[in-house]
């Protein structure tokens, strides 16, 4: 097993001091780890997910470590809920310096047999959820001529493989969307970045090493 990197030690405990980070899908998995890591480096973290009870628990842990946190119960597939969450973050912290789009859902199946409703669900979270969050934060970032948007894509967004055809399609879309946005934002002071993880183990994938037994989970 690869050794987990403690970025707070590498970059320094105050590396993100006075910066506000909004993280979608923060109730578990990569999003949760990002929230904990950045809070240790001094960031104020606004954490968005559907599972408010898990967010409240995480908020307590972050605040116990001395950082400020905001738990935002919202469904990224609903643009109106995302806009309300962004407004609350701006009211609480004054600005959003970094957006991390980490909400995701994976429902494995072969292309030939997959249920179109499953593909629609994955598109709703993985693609449209990303769009909703970016569109909600960009006006305030443009007003300040600064900000960072970080989208969690996947190596599945570079090469398709079974039984992840539908999931790959959503991540290919996120990659293309982010690369286009990066060009749109040139000279604005705002950056758009991609993170392309490989395989990881979380509630997104369940506990089985076989992708055919993955249980879908929306963070």
Catalytic residues: 167
DSSP per residue, 93-119: HS---EEEE-------B-TTT--HHHH
Taking Cα atoms as reference points, which of 144, 170, 145, 142 lies closest to residue 157? Answer: 170
Lookup: tokens for 197: 């993880």
Residue 18 region, left (φ>0) first, then alpha (ψ -120 to 50), else beta?
left
CB 183 within 8 A of CB 208: no
Cis-peptide, bond into residue 163, ω within 30° of zero:
yes
Dihedral angle sign, alpha carbons of residues 201, 202, 208, 213: negative
Crossing angle of the two packed helices 129-144 and 165-184, in degrees rounded to 10: 10
56: Cβ–Cβ under 8 A, 6 or more apart, which residues?
71
48 - beta bridge partners?
Answer: 24, 72
Sort 182 into a burial class: Cβ within 10 Å, 0-12 / 13-18 / 19+.
Answer: middle
């Amino acid at each position: 097993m690869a050794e987990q990197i403690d970025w707070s030690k590498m970059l320094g405990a105050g590396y993100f001091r006075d910066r506000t980070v909004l993280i979608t899908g923060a109730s578990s998995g990569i999003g949760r780890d990002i929230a904990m890591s950045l809070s240790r480096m001094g960031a104020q973290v606004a954490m968005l997910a559907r599972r408010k009870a898990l967010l409240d628990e995480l908020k307590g842990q972050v605040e116990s470590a001395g950082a400020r946190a905001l738990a935002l119960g919202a469904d990224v597939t609903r643009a109106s809920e995302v806009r309300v969450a962004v407004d609350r973050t701006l009211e609480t912290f004054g600005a959003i310096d970094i957006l991390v789009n980490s909400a995701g859902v994976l429902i494995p199946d072969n292309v030939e047999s997959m249920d179109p409703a499953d593909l629609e669900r994955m598109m709703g979270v993985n693609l449209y959820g990303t769009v909703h969050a970016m569109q909600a934060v960009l006006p305030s970032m443009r007003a300040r001529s600064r900000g960072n948007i970080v989208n969690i894509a996947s190596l599945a967004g570079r090469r398709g493989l079974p039984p992840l055809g539908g999931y790959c399609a959503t991540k290919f879309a996120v990659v293309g969307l982010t690369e286009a946005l990066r060009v749109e934002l040139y000279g604005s002071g705002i950056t758009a970045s991609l993170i392309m993880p490989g395989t990881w183990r979380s509630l997104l994938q369940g506990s089985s090493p076989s992708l055919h037994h993955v249980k879908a989970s929306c963070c």
